[in-house]
Amino acid sequence: MRRGTMPDMRTYLVTTPPWMVGLASGLIFGGGFAAVTRFTAPTPVSWQAAAIAGVIAGLLFGGTLAYASGRQQRDLRAAAGDLPPAQQLEAYRAAVSGQIPANPQIRVTAVRIAQRRIEELRQFRIVSVIVTALLMLGAVMNLTAGEFMLAALLLAAALVNGAQLYQLRRVGRQLQRLSPEGAADQSG
């Protein structure tokens, strides 16, 4: 299957109400946080304390994700202007990594969305590098202390956070493909 023919898996974040994104992610994260707190703490932690920690972590994580999702949706609507929702999604997919749209209006919108996404990713680039380094340091420290489960979780979090740096490159390449010069290079 050619790249870009399947819908981007993150498009649901564009169409789902932000509160639902926050609720679902908060429940998943909070449940995982409670389980990790219960089973990987150096001293025994009761289920009640782990559940309270999970609720607090879930509320913070879900609230943050709901805010970010709402902001992403507002940015998309601002960049899309008067495009119908189906064309907004097509422009979003094209801006992230999809096929280059033939419709010039959708293509211009995709360029605006990609530019906004690059600006957003650049703002958090330094923070992302620092957080990734701290997570890696925590993983190494836990590994040397014999806390393998926590080290694996921190390593996974570092890899997910570090992926933001790759996403900046990927959206930048897509922006070049969306530009008129990039389209001429691909057709020739």
Domain count, the chain: 2
With beta carbons less than 8 A apart as the criterion, state whether 159 and 150 touch. Answer: no
Q: Do 71 and 90 belong to one domain? A: no
> To 5 degrees, how large is the angle CA 7–CA 166–CA 161?
95
> What pTM was computed for the model?
0.67
Domain final residue pick, 80, 103, 128? 80
Q: Give the domain extent around 54.
A: 8-80
Residue 30 included in any domain: yes
Query: What are the C-alpha distances in Å from 159 to residues 26, 86, 136?
Result: 20, 33, 9
CA–CA separation, 161 and 163 (whole Å): 5
Return the exposure string of 32-42: e unless at least 16 CB atoms fall within 10 Å of the residue's CB, then b: ebbebbbebee
Identify the band that residue 134 occupies on the pLDDT scale cut at 50, 70 and 90: very high
Read off the pLDDT of residues 154-168 as tens digits, 9 standing for 90 and up.
Answer: 899 899 888 888 888
With beta carbons less than 8 A apart as the criterion, state whether 112 and 145 touch. Answer: no
**Could you tell me how far CA 20 lies from the centroid of its own chain?**
16
Most confident among 59-63, 111-115, 179-183 (mean pLDDT):
59-63
How confident is the model at residue 181, as a pLDDT? Answer: 62
How confident is the model at residue 19, as a pLDDT? Answer: 92
Residue 187 included in any domain: no
Mean pLDDT to the nearest integer, 125-132: 89
Q: Which range, of 6-15, 16-25, 133-142, averages the lowest pLDDT?
A: 6-15
Question: Is residue 187 scored above 60 in pLDDT?
Answer: no
Q: Do 102 and 76 belong to one domain? A: no
Q: Do 70 and 88 belong to one domain? A: no
The token duo for 175 is 């922006």
Domain final residue pick, 80, 106, 139? 80
